[in-house]
Copies of this chain bind each other. A is one copy, B any other.
Amino acid sequence: MAHAVELYDTTLRDGTQAENFNLSVEDKIRITVALDKLGIDYIEGGWPGSNPMSVEYFNKMQSIKLNHAKLAAFGSTRHLKNSPEDDPNLQALIAAKTPAITIFGKSWDIHVHEALRIELEDNLRIIRETLAYLRPRVDHLFYDAEHFFDGFKHNEEYALLTLESAIEGGAETLVLCDTNGGTLPHELSPIIHRVQHYFADKDIKVTLGIHAHNDSESAVANSLLAVADAKVNQVQGTINGFGERCGNANLTSIIPALVFKLGMECEVRKHIDRLYSTSRYVNELANLPHNRYQPYVGESAFAHKGGIHVSAVKHNPLTYEHIQPDRVGNIRRILISDQSGRSNILHKAKQWNLKLSPDDPVLPTIIAKLKELENLGYQYEGAEASFELLMRKALGLKRNYFEFESFRVMNHKYRMDKPPLTEATIRLFVGGREVHTAAMGDGPVNALDTAIRKALTRFYPCLEKMELADYKVRVLSGEKGTEARVRVLVESRDEQCTWGTVGVSVNIIEASWQALVDSINYKLLKDLDP
Protein backbone atom coordinates (compact mmCIF):
# COMPACT_ATOMS: atom_id res chain seq x y z
CA MET A 1 0.00 0.00 0.00
CA ALA A 2 2.86 2.41 0.75
CA HIS A 3 3.55 5.24 -1.66
CA ALA A 4 5.48 8.48 -1.21
CA VAL A 5 3.74 11.28 0.68
CA GLU A 6 4.88 14.90 0.98
CA LEU A 7 4.16 16.69 4.25
CA TYR A 8 3.24 20.33 3.87
CA ASP A 9 3.02 22.38 7.05
CA THR A 10 0.93 25.56 7.21
CA THR A 11 1.20 26.31 10.94
CA LEU A 12 2.77 29.68 10.15
CA ARG A 13 0.03 30.74 7.70
CA ASP A 14 -3.31 28.95 8.12
CA GLY A 15 -2.40 27.98 11.69
CA THR A 16 -2.10 31.60 12.76
CA GLN A 17 -5.74 32.13 11.77
CA ALA A 18 -6.58 30.34 15.03
CA GLU A 19 -8.00 32.54 17.74
CA ASN A 20 -5.36 33.28 20.43
CA PHE A 21 -2.53 31.70 18.43
CA ASN A 22 -0.14 34.56 17.73
CA LEU A 23 3.48 34.33 16.67
CA SER A 24 6.12 37.01 16.22
CA VAL A 25 8.46 36.94 13.23
CA GLU A 26 11.20 35.56 15.51
CA ASP A 27 8.86 32.82 16.76
CA LYS A 28 8.04 31.91 13.17
CA ILE A 29 11.70 31.56 12.31
CA ARG A 30 12.31 29.35 15.36
CA ILE A 31 9.36 27.15 14.38
CA THR A 32 10.63 26.91 10.80
CA VAL A 33 13.95 25.56 12.06
CA ALA A 34 12.15 23.08 14.34
CA LEU A 35 9.91 21.86 11.49
CA ASP A 36 12.95 21.41 9.27
CA LYS A 37 14.60 19.26 11.94
CA LEU A 38 11.42 17.20 12.20
CA GLY A 39 11.67 16.42 8.49
CA ILE A 40 8.70 18.38 7.11
CA ASP A 41 8.99 18.65 3.30
CA TYR A 42 7.33 22.04 2.70
CA ILE A 43 6.85 24.88 5.17
CA GLU A 44 4.32 27.54 4.20
CA GLY A 45 5.67 30.70 5.81
CA GLY A 46 2.91 33.20 5.08
CA TRP A 47 0.95 35.25 2.58
CA PRO A 48 3.32 38.08 1.60
CA GLY A 49 0.64 39.84 -0.47
CA SER A 50 -1.69 40.33 2.48
CA ASN A 51 0.55 40.64 5.51
CA PRO A 52 3.68 42.82 6.04
CA MET A 53 4.90 40.46 8.78
CA SER A 54 5.17 37.72 6.16
CA VAL A 55 7.38 39.93 4.00
CA GLU A 56 9.72 40.46 6.96
CA TYR A 57 9.71 36.71 7.68
CA PHE A 58 10.65 35.78 4.10
CA ASN A 59 13.38 38.44 4.04
CA LYS A 60 14.94 37.12 7.22
CA MET A 61 14.66 33.52 6.02
CA GLN A 62 16.94 34.35 3.05
CA SER A 63 19.94 34.08 5.37
CA ILE A 64 18.86 30.86 7.12
CA LYS A 65 19.81 27.53 5.62
CA LEU A 66 17.39 24.65 6.00
CA ASN A 67 18.54 21.01 5.85
CA HIS A 68 15.63 19.44 4.05
CA ALA A 69 12.47 21.56 4.07
CA LYS A 70 11.53 23.90 1.25
CA LEU A 71 9.81 27.18 2.04
CA ALA A 72 6.50 27.99 0.36
CA ALA A 73 4.86 31.38 -0.07
CA PHE A 74 1.06 31.48 -0.28
CA GLY A 75 -1.19 33.78 -2.29
CA SER A 76 -4.38 34.11 -4.27
CA THR A 77 -4.96 34.08 -8.00
CA ARG A 78 -4.35 37.48 -9.57
CA HIS A 79 -7.04 40.15 -9.52
CA LEU A 80 -9.06 39.96 -12.79
CA LYS A 81 -8.28 43.58 -13.62
CA ASN A 82 -4.50 43.26 -13.19
CA SER A 83 -2.03 41.72 -15.54
CA PRO A 84 0.29 39.32 -13.68
CA GLU A 85 3.14 41.86 -13.98
CA ASP A 86 1.04 44.50 -12.24
CA ASP A 87 -0.58 42.30 -9.65
CA PRO A 88 0.90 43.25 -6.25
CA ASN A 89 -0.01 39.87 -4.77
CA LEU A 90 1.87 37.91 -7.44
CA GLN A 91 4.84 40.26 -7.33
CA ALA A 92 5.03 39.85 -3.54
CA LEU A 93 5.13 36.08 -4.03
CA ILE A 94 8.04 36.32 -6.43
CA ALA A 95 9.83 38.78 -4.15
CA ALA A 96 9.63 36.21 -1.33
CA LYS A 97 12.17 34.12 -3.32
CA THR A 98 10.95 30.78 -2.05
CA PRO A 99 11.54 27.45 -3.82
CA ALA A 100 7.77 26.82 -3.72
CA ILE A 101 4.66 28.91 -4.31
CA THR A 102 1.11 27.86 -3.49
CA ILE A 103 -1.77 29.61 -5.23
CA PHE A 104 -5.32 29.24 -4.02
CA GLY A 105 -8.30 29.68 -6.29
CA LYS A 106 -12.05 29.32 -6.16
CA SER A 107 -13.65 25.94 -6.93
CA TRP A 108 -17.18 26.74 -5.80
CA ASP A 109 -19.38 28.71 -8.18
CA ILE A 110 -21.13 30.55 -5.32
CA HIS A 111 -17.79 31.99 -4.19
CA VAL A 112 -16.88 33.09 -7.71
CA HIS A 113 -20.11 35.08 -7.86
CA GLU A 114 -20.35 36.28 -4.27
CA ALA A 115 -16.75 36.74 -3.13
CA LEU A 116 -14.82 37.48 -6.34
CA ARG A 117 -17.91 38.92 -8.09
CA ILE A 118 -16.70 37.79 -11.51
CA GLU A 119 -17.96 35.42 -14.20
CA LEU A 120 -17.26 31.68 -13.96
CA GLU A 121 -15.20 31.78 -17.17
CA ASP A 122 -13.06 34.61 -15.81
CA ASN A 123 -12.24 32.60 -12.71
CA LEU A 124 -10.96 29.74 -14.87
CA ARG A 125 -8.86 32.24 -16.79
CA ILE A 126 -7.21 33.81 -13.73
CA ILE A 127 -6.44 30.36 -12.30
CA ARG A 128 -4.77 29.28 -15.54
CA GLU A 129 -2.97 32.55 -16.22
CA THR A 130 -1.72 33.06 -12.66
CA LEU A 131 -0.14 29.63 -12.59
CA ALA A 132 1.24 29.92 -16.12
CA TYR A 133 2.92 33.21 -15.20
CA LEU A 134 4.52 31.75 -12.08
CA ARG A 135 5.48 28.36 -13.54
CA PRO A 136 8.86 29.41 -15.02
CA ARG A 137 9.62 31.62 -11.99
CA VAL A 138 9.61 29.01 -9.18
CA ASP A 139 10.79 25.41 -8.61
CA HIS A 140 7.58 24.02 -7.14
CA LEU A 141 4.10 25.29 -7.88
CA PHE A 142 1.06 24.03 -5.96
CA TYR A 143 -2.62 24.79 -6.42
CA ASP A 144 -4.95 24.88 -3.40
CA ALA A 145 -8.50 24.30 -4.66
CA GLU A 146 -10.39 26.25 -2.00
CA HIS A 147 -13.81 24.85 -0.98
CA PHE A 148 -13.26 21.97 -3.40
CA PHE A 149 -15.56 19.45 -1.71
CA ASP A 150 -18.44 21.90 -1.21
CA GLY A 151 -17.97 23.18 -4.75
CA PHE A 152 -18.01 19.64 -6.11
CA LYS A 153 -21.26 18.82 -4.30
CA HIS A 154 -22.96 21.95 -5.66
CA ASN A 155 -21.58 22.05 -9.20
CA GLU A 156 -19.41 19.07 -9.99
CA GLU A 157 -18.75 20.04 -13.59
CA TYR A 158 -17.48 23.51 -12.70
CA ALA A 159 -15.33 22.34 -9.80
CA LEU A 160 -13.59 19.88 -12.13
CA LEU A 161 -13.04 22.63 -14.71
CA THR A 162 -11.22 24.77 -12.13
CA LEU A 163 -8.85 21.86 -11.49
CA GLU A 164 -8.33 21.40 -15.20
CA SER A 165 -7.45 25.09 -15.55
CA ALA A 166 -4.87 24.69 -12.78
CA ILE A 167 -3.26 21.79 -14.62
CA GLU A 168 -3.24 23.79 -17.86
CA GLY A 169 -1.50 26.59 -15.94
CA GLY A 170 1.20 24.18 -14.82
CA ALA A 171 0.39 23.28 -11.23
CA GLU A 172 2.48 20.34 -10.03
CA THR A 173 0.02 19.19 -7.34
CA LEU A 174 -3.69 19.94 -6.96
CA VAL A 175 -4.55 20.20 -3.30
CA LEU A 176 -8.23 19.53 -2.60
CA CYS A 177 -9.33 21.74 0.29
CA ASP A 178 -12.22 21.12 2.65
CA THR A 179 -12.15 24.78 3.60
CA ASN A 180 -15.31 24.81 5.74
CA GLY A 181 -14.46 21.47 7.32
CA GLY A 182 -17.96 20.11 6.78
CA THR A 183 -17.08 17.03 4.72
CA LEU A 184 -17.76 13.75 6.51
CA PRO A 185 -15.35 10.83 6.08
CA HIS A 186 -17.74 8.63 4.07
CA GLU A 187 -18.09 11.39 1.43
CA LEU A 188 -14.40 12.05 0.91
CA SER A 189 -12.91 9.10 -0.98
CA PRO A 190 -15.80 8.80 -3.48
CA ILE A 191 -15.30 12.45 -4.47
CA ILE A 192 -11.52 12.08 -4.84
CA HIS A 193 -12.05 8.91 -6.88
CA ARG A 194 -14.35 10.81 -9.23
CA VAL A 195 -11.68 13.48 -9.71
CA GLN A 196 -9.16 10.77 -10.52
CA HIS A 197 -11.51 9.09 -13.02
CA TYR A 198 -12.30 12.41 -14.67
CA PHE A 199 -8.64 13.01 -15.45
CA ALA A 200 -7.88 9.38 -16.25
CA ASP A 201 -10.65 9.43 -18.85
CA LYS A 202 -8.98 12.46 -20.45
CA ASP A 203 -5.57 10.82 -20.17
CA ILE A 204 -4.31 13.67 -18.00
CA LYS A 205 -1.86 12.75 -15.24
CA VAL A 206 -2.61 14.46 -11.91
CA THR A 207 -0.93 14.52 -8.52
CA LEU A 208 -3.35 15.28 -5.69
CA GLY A 209 -3.08 16.58 -2.13
CA ILE A 210 -5.49 17.05 0.77
CA HIS A 211 -6.05 20.10 3.00
CA ALA A 212 -8.68 19.40 5.66
CA HIS A 213 -10.29 21.49 8.39
CA ASN A 214 -11.65 20.13 11.63
CA ASP A 215 -15.17 21.56 11.90
CA SER A 216 -16.64 18.05 11.85
CA GLU A 217 -13.83 16.66 14.07
CA SER A 218 -12.79 14.59 11.07
CA ALA A 219 -9.76 16.46 9.67
CA VAL A 220 -7.18 13.85 10.67
CA ALA A 221 -9.40 10.97 9.54
CA ASN A 222 -10.17 12.67 6.23
CA SER A 223 -6.47 13.26 5.59
CA LEU A 224 -5.64 9.62 6.39
CA LEU A 225 -8.49 8.37 4.19
CA ALA A 226 -7.22 10.53 1.33
CA VAL A 227 -3.82 8.83 1.64
CA ALA A 228 -4.91 5.27 2.41
CA ASP A 229 -8.01 5.00 0.19
CA ALA A 230 -7.46 7.62 -2.50
CA LYS A 231 -3.63 7.51 -2.63
CA VAL A 232 -3.06 11.26 -2.61
CA ASN A 233 0.57 12.41 -2.47
CA GLN A 234 0.55 15.54 -0.34
CA VAL A 235 -0.96 16.19 3.09
CA GLN A 236 -1.31 19.72 4.40
CA GLY A 237 -1.82 20.43 8.08
CA THR A 238 -0.53 22.24 11.14
CA ILE A 239 1.30 21.34 14.34
CA ASN A 240 -1.24 20.67 17.11
CA GLY A 241 -4.02 21.32 14.60
CA PHE A 242 -4.01 25.11 15.00
CA GLY A 243 -6.12 26.93 12.44
CA GLU A 244 -9.20 29.01 11.79
CA ARG A 245 -12.34 28.13 13.81
CA CYS A 246 -11.82 24.50 14.94
CA GLY A 247 -8.43 24.18 13.33
CA ASN A 248 -6.62 22.46 10.47
CA ALA A 249 -5.71 18.80 10.14
CA ASN A 250 -3.35 17.99 13.00
CA LEU A 251 0.05 16.84 11.74
CA THR A 252 1.06 15.50 15.15
CA SER A 253 -1.66 12.85 14.71
CA ILE A 254 -1.27 12.37 10.96
CA ILE A 255 2.50 11.85 10.93
CA PRO A 256 2.68 8.82 13.26
CA ALA A 257 -0.25 7.16 11.46
CA LEU A 258 1.47 7.65 8.09
CA VAL A 259 4.80 6.37 9.38
CA PHE A 260 3.88 3.57 11.76
CA LYS A 261 0.52 2.40 10.50
CA LEU A 262 0.50 3.11 6.78
CA GLY A 263 4.23 2.58 6.22
CA MET A 264 4.60 5.67 4.05
CA GLU A 265 7.99 6.79 2.80
CA CYS A 266 8.79 10.31 4.00
CA GLU A 267 11.67 12.27 5.48
CA VAL A 268 9.85 12.72 8.78
CA ARG A 269 10.19 8.96 9.41
CA LYS A 270 13.86 9.58 10.29
CA HIS A 271 13.11 12.21 12.93
CA ILE A 272 9.73 11.17 14.27
CA ASP A 273 11.04 10.90 17.84
CA ARG A 274 11.14 14.72 17.76
CA LEU A 275 7.35 14.86 17.38
CA TYR A 276 6.57 15.33 21.07
CA SER A 277 9.16 18.06 21.65
CA THR A 278 8.18 19.90 18.44
CA SER A 279 4.54 19.90 19.49
CA ARG A 280 5.39 21.34 22.92
CA TYR A 281 7.81 23.85 21.47
CA VAL A 282 5.13 25.42 19.27
CA ASN A 283 2.80 25.76 22.27
CA GLU A 284 5.55 27.25 24.40
CA LEU A 285 6.39 29.90 21.80
CA ALA A 286 2.71 30.76 21.44
CA ASN A 287 2.40 30.74 25.23
CA LEU A 288 -0.52 28.31 25.08
CA PRO A 289 -1.08 25.33 27.36
CA HIS A 290 -0.41 21.86 26.00
CA ASN A 291 -3.57 19.78 25.50
CA ARG A 292 -3.02 16.82 27.79
CA TYR A 293 -5.49 14.61 25.90
CA GLN A 294 -3.86 15.20 22.50
CA PRO A 295 -3.22 11.91 20.67
CA TYR A 296 0.41 10.71 20.55
CA VAL A 297 1.91 13.88 22.14
CA GLY A 298 -0.40 14.66 25.08
CA GLU A 299 0.63 13.98 28.68
CA SER A 300 -2.36 11.64 29.06
CA ALA A 301 -1.89 9.86 25.72
CA PHE A 302 -0.01 6.96 27.32
CA ALA A 303 -1.17 7.37 30.92
CA HIS A 304 -2.65 4.34 32.62
CA LYS A 305 -4.89 4.41 35.65
CA GLY A 306 -6.87 1.27 36.60
CA GLY A 307 -4.96 -1.63 38.20
CA ILE A 308 -5.77 -4.21 35.50
CA HIS A 309 -4.63 -1.90 32.73
CA VAL A 310 -1.42 -1.09 34.56
CA SER A 311 -0.33 -4.68 35.13
CA ALA A 312 -1.38 -5.71 31.63
CA VAL A 313 0.41 -2.80 29.99
CA LYS A 314 3.60 -3.46 31.96
CA HIS A 315 3.49 -7.12 30.96
CA ASN A 316 2.66 -6.45 27.30
CA PRO A 317 2.27 -2.78 26.19
CA LEU A 318 0.36 -3.87 23.10
CA THR A 319 -2.64 -4.74 25.28
CA TYR A 320 -3.60 -1.13 25.99
CA GLU A 321 -1.36 1.01 23.74
CA HIS A 322 -1.79 1.40 20.01
CA ILE A 323 1.86 2.40 19.55
CA GLN A 324 4.92 2.61 21.82
CA PRO A 325 5.16 6.12 23.33
CA ASP A 326 8.93 6.53 22.92
CA ARG A 327 8.59 6.19 19.16
CA VAL A 328 7.18 9.74 19.08
CA GLY A 329 9.32 11.00 21.99
CA ASN A 330 6.52 10.67 24.55
CA ILE A 331 6.60 8.49 27.67
CA ARG A 332 4.29 5.99 29.32
CA ARG A 333 2.93 7.25 32.61
CA ILE A 334 1.81 4.81 35.24
CA LEU A 335 -0.14 7.19 37.37
CA ILE A 336 0.83 5.75 40.75
CA SER A 337 4.47 4.80 40.32
CA ASP A 338 7.61 6.93 40.35
CA GLN A 339 9.54 4.69 37.94
CA SER A 340 9.93 7.36 35.28
CA GLY A 341 11.25 9.87 37.82
CA ARG A 342 14.21 7.75 38.97
CA SER A 343 15.62 6.94 35.59
CA ASN A 344 15.20 10.52 34.43
CA ILE A 345 17.13 11.86 37.44
CA LEU A 346 19.93 9.33 37.09
CA HIS A 347 20.18 10.20 33.43
CA LYS A 348 20.48 13.92 34.20
CA ALA A 349 23.06 13.37 36.98
CA LYS A 350 25.26 11.49 34.53
CA GLN A 351 24.86 14.26 31.97
CA TRP A 352 25.96 16.90 34.53
CA ASN A 353 28.85 14.83 35.93
CA LEU A 354 27.22 14.54 39.34
CA LYS A 355 27.97 11.38 41.30
CA LEU A 356 24.65 9.65 41.97
CA SER A 357 24.17 5.89 42.00
CA PRO A 358 20.76 4.16 41.76
CA ASP A 359 20.98 3.15 45.45
CA ASP A 360 22.13 6.54 46.78
CA PRO A 361 19.93 7.49 49.76
CA VAL A 362 19.71 11.05 48.37
CA LEU A 363 17.78 9.82 45.32
CA PRO A 364 14.40 9.36 47.07
CA THR A 365 14.83 12.83 48.63
CA ILE A 366 15.35 14.39 45.20
CA ILE A 367 12.33 12.52 43.78
CA ALA A 368 10.15 13.65 46.67
CA LYS A 369 11.30 17.27 46.37
CA LEU A 370 10.72 17.21 42.62
CA LYS A 371 7.19 15.83 43.03
CA GLU A 372 6.39 18.49 45.61
CA LEU A 373 7.67 21.28 43.35
CA GLU A 374 5.86 19.91 40.30
CA ASN A 375 2.64 19.82 42.28
CA LEU A 376 3.17 23.51 43.03
CA GLY A 377 3.47 24.23 39.31
CA TYR A 378 7.23 24.15 38.73
CA GLN A 379 8.19 22.68 35.41
CA TYR A 380 11.75 21.88 34.43
CA GLU A 381 11.37 21.47 30.70
CA GLY A 382 13.04 24.63 29.50
CA ALA A 383 14.42 25.28 33.01
CA GLU A 384 17.14 22.68 33.32
CA ALA A 385 19.49 25.12 35.07
CA SER A 386 17.03 25.35 37.98
CA PHE A 387 16.86 21.57 38.06
CA GLU A 388 20.65 21.21 38.13
CA LEU A 389 20.86 23.72 41.02
CA LEU A 390 18.17 21.75 42.88
CA MET A 391 20.13 18.51 42.47
CA ARG A 392 23.40 20.13 43.52
CA LYS A 393 21.71 21.51 46.62
CA ALA A 394 20.37 18.05 47.51
CA LEU A 395 23.87 16.60 47.03
CA GLY A 396 25.44 19.36 49.16
CA LEU A 397 27.28 20.78 46.15
CA LYS A 398 25.70 24.22 45.93
CA ARG A 399 27.81 27.20 46.94
CA ASN A 400 26.23 30.41 48.20
CA TYR A 401 27.62 33.32 46.23
CA PHE A 402 25.71 35.88 48.30
CA GLU A 403 23.46 36.15 51.36
CA PHE A 404 20.08 37.73 50.76
CA GLU A 405 18.85 40.24 53.31
CA SER A 406 15.83 42.04 51.81
CA PHE A 407 14.44 43.87 48.81
CA ARG A 408 11.68 46.39 48.13
CA VAL A 409 9.96 47.12 44.84
CA MET A 410 7.84 50.28 44.63
CA ASN A 411 5.50 51.41 41.86
CA HIS A 412 4.08 54.89 41.96
CA LYS A 413 1.50 56.01 39.41
CA TYR A 414 0.48 59.65 39.60
CA ARG A 415 -0.71 60.37 36.07
CA MET A 416 -3.44 58.51 34.23
CA ASP A 417 -1.57 58.67 30.92
CA LYS A 418 1.86 57.52 32.13
CA PRO A 419 2.99 54.13 33.45
CA PRO A 420 4.05 54.03 37.10
CA LEU A 421 7.54 54.99 38.18
CA THR A 422 9.24 51.87 39.43
CA GLU A 423 12.12 51.61 41.89
CA ALA A 424 13.78 48.61 43.49
CA THR A 425 16.20 48.46 46.42
CA ILE A 426 18.13 45.43 47.51
CA ARG A 427 20.28 44.61 50.52
CA LEU A 428 22.59 41.62 50.57
CA PHE A 429 25.98 40.39 51.79
CA VAL A 430 28.89 39.08 49.78
CA GLY A 431 31.63 37.50 51.88
CA GLY A 432 30.39 39.41 54.94
CA ARG A 433 30.30 42.81 53.19
CA GLU A 434 26.96 44.58 53.07
CA VAL A 435 25.72 45.84 49.71
CA HIS A 436 22.69 48.10 49.49
CA THR A 437 21.71 49.36 46.03
CA ALA A 438 18.74 50.87 44.27
CA ALA A 439 17.65 51.02 40.63
CA MET A 440 14.80 52.27 38.50
CA GLY A 441 13.19 50.05 35.88
CA ASP A 442 10.60 49.82 33.14
CA GLY A 443 8.54 47.59 35.38
CA PRO A 444 8.91 45.90 38.76
CA VAL A 445 10.80 42.86 37.50
CA ASN A 446 13.12 44.92 35.36
CA ALA A 447 13.89 47.22 38.32
CA LEU A 448 14.65 44.25 40.55
CA ASP A 449 16.80 42.61 37.89
CA THR A 450 18.77 45.84 37.44
CA ALA A 451 19.23 46.35 41.21
CA ILE A 452 20.53 42.84 41.87
CA ARG A 453 23.01 43.00 39.00
CA LYS A 454 24.20 46.39 40.20
CA ALA A 455 24.76 44.89 43.64
CA LEU A 456 26.65 41.80 42.48
CA THR A 457 28.63 42.90 39.42
CA ARG A 458 31.33 44.66 41.45
CA PHE A 459 32.12 41.30 43.10
CA TYR A 460 31.45 39.09 40.09
CA PRO A 461 32.35 41.01 36.91
CA CYS A 462 31.44 38.00 34.73
CA LEU A 463 27.77 38.91 35.31
CA GLU A 464 28.23 41.79 32.90
CA LYS A 465 28.51 39.29 30.06
CA MET A 466 25.15 37.73 30.89
CA GLU A 467 21.80 38.94 29.60
CA LEU A 468 18.17 37.93 29.77
CA ALA A 469 17.12 36.51 26.41
CA ASP A 470 13.51 35.72 27.19
CA TYR A 471 11.01 36.14 29.99
CA LYS A 472 7.72 34.23 30.00
CA VAL A 473 4.83 34.33 32.40
CA ARG A 474 2.08 31.75 32.60
CA VAL A 475 -0.89 31.96 34.92
CA LEU A 476 -1.46 28.48 36.34
CA SER A 477 -5.09 27.47 36.39
CA GLY A 478 -6.86 26.22 39.45
CA GLU A 479 -7.29 29.43 41.37
CA LYS A 480 -9.32 32.47 40.44
CA GLY A 481 -8.29 35.78 38.90
CA THR A 482 -5.38 37.69 40.37
CA GLU A 483 -4.99 35.19 43.23
CA ALA A 484 -3.80 32.50 40.83
CA ARG A 485 -0.21 31.28 40.93
CA VAL A 486 2.10 32.24 38.10
CA ARG A 487 5.06 30.43 36.63
CA VAL A 488 7.91 32.55 35.32
CA LEU A 489 10.43 31.06 32.88
CA VAL A 490 13.59 33.05 32.27
CA GLU A 491 16.05 32.30 29.51
CA SER A 492 19.51 33.80 29.98
CA ARG A 493 22.55 33.81 27.77
CA ASP A 494 26.20 34.75 27.65
CA GLU A 495 28.73 34.42 24.88
CA GLN A 496 28.95 30.64 25.28
CA CYS A 497 25.47 29.32 25.91
CA THR A 498 21.87 29.85 27.02
CA TRP A 499 20.13 28.43 30.10
CA GLY A 500 16.63 28.41 31.51
CA THR A 501 15.37 28.91 35.05
CA VAL A 502 11.95 28.86 36.70
CA GLY A 503 10.02 30.39 39.58
CA VAL A 504 6.48 29.90 40.89
CA SER A 505 4.44 31.98 43.30
CA VAL A 506 1.09 33.72 43.75
CA ASN A 507 3.23 36.85 43.58
CA ILE A 508 4.72 37.53 40.16
CA ILE A 509 7.61 39.47 41.70
CA GLU A 510 8.51 36.52 43.91
CA ALA A 511 8.27 34.07 40.99
CA SER A 512 10.47 36.35 38.86
CA TRP A 513 12.91 36.75 41.74
CA GLN A 514 13.32 32.96 42.08
CA ALA A 515 14.04 32.59 38.37
CA LEU A 516 16.45 35.57 38.34
CA VAL A 517 18.39 34.30 41.37
CA ASP A 518 18.67 30.82 39.83
CA SER A 519 19.87 32.37 36.60
CA ILE A 520 22.63 34.36 38.37
CA ASN A 521 23.66 31.40 40.52
CA TYR A 522 23.90 29.19 37.47
CA LYS A 523 26.07 31.71 35.65
CA LEU A 524 28.41 31.99 38.67
CA LEU A 525 28.55 28.21 39.10
CA LYS A 526 29.36 27.76 35.43
CA ASP A 527 32.12 30.40 35.40
CA LEU A 528 33.62 30.06 38.88
CA ASP A 529 33.13 26.38 39.79
CA PRO A 530 32.87 24.52 36.51
Contacts and interface: CB of A to CB of B under 8 A. Distances in A.
A384 to B, nearest CB: 12
26 contacts: A19-B305, A115-B319, A180-B320, A184-B221, A184-B224, A185-B224, A185-B228, A186-B229, A216-B261, A218-B220, A221-B225, A245-B301, A245-B303, A409-B410, A411-B509, A419-B505, A419-B506, A442-B506, A444-B507, A444-B508, A445-B508, A446-B506, A468-B481, A471-B475, A471-B481, A508-B508
A244 B27 CA distance: 34
A441 interface: yes
A312 B181 CA distance: 17
Contacts of A481: 446, 449, 467-471, 490
A420 B27 contact: no
B215 A322 contact: yes
A335 B184 CA distance: 27
Contacts of A294: 246
Interface in A341-392: 379, 381-382
Contacts of A298: 246
Given A181-B322, A443-B508, A507-B443, A295 B215 contact: yes
Given A221-B222, A468-B482, 20 more contacts: A17-B305, A19-B293, A19-B299, A115-B312, A180-B321, A180-B322, A184-B228, A184-B261, A185-B185, A218-B221, A221-B221, A419-B507, A420-B507, A449-B482, A467-B480, A467-B481, A470-B475, A470-B480, A471-B484, A481-B490
Contacts of A291: 291
Determine which residue in A217, A229, A316 has the highest number of CB atoms from chain B within 10 A of its CB, and name it: A217
Given A245-B300, A404-B416, A409-B410, A335 B472 contact: no
A214 to B, nearest CB: 6
A490 B289 CA distance: 17
A182 interface: yes
Contacts of A218: 220-221, 224
Interface string A467-510: 11111111111101111101000100000000000000111111
Interface of A: 17-20, 22, 24, 26-27, 50, 110-111, 114-115, 179-182, 184-186, 214-218, 220-222, 224-225, 228-229, 241, 244-247, 250, 253, 257, 261-262, 287, 289, 291-296, 298-306, 308-309, 312, 315-316, 318-323, 335, 339, 379, 381-382, 404-414, 416, 419-420, 422, 441-446, 449, 467-478, 480-484, 486, 490, 505-510, 512-513
B442 A225 contact: no
A478 B25 CA distance: 9
Contacts of A296: 215
Contacts of A490: 481
A298 B300 CA distance: 21
Contacts of A379: 22
Contacts of A446: 481-483, 506
A295 B217 contact: yes
Contacts of A322: 180-182, 215-216
Contact of A111 (B24, B312, B323, B410): B312
A47 B414 CA distance: 53
B216 A257 contact: yes
A327 to B, nearest CB: 13
Contact of A217 (B185, B220, B304): B220
Contacts of A478: 24, 26
B475 A509 contact: no
Nearest to A291: B291
Contacts of A408: 410-413
Contact of A19 (B186, B220, B306, B381): B381
A315 B412 contact: no
A105 to B, nearest CB: 14
Chain B CB count within 10 A is highest, among A27, A244, A323, A468, for A244
A15 B421 CA distance: 43
A402 to B, nearest CB: 11
A141 to B, nearest CB: 23
Contacts of A319: 110-111, 114-115
Please list the 3 inter-chain residue pairs (A to B) with the smallest Cβ-Cβ separation, ordered nearest first: A182-B322, A468-B481, A221-B221
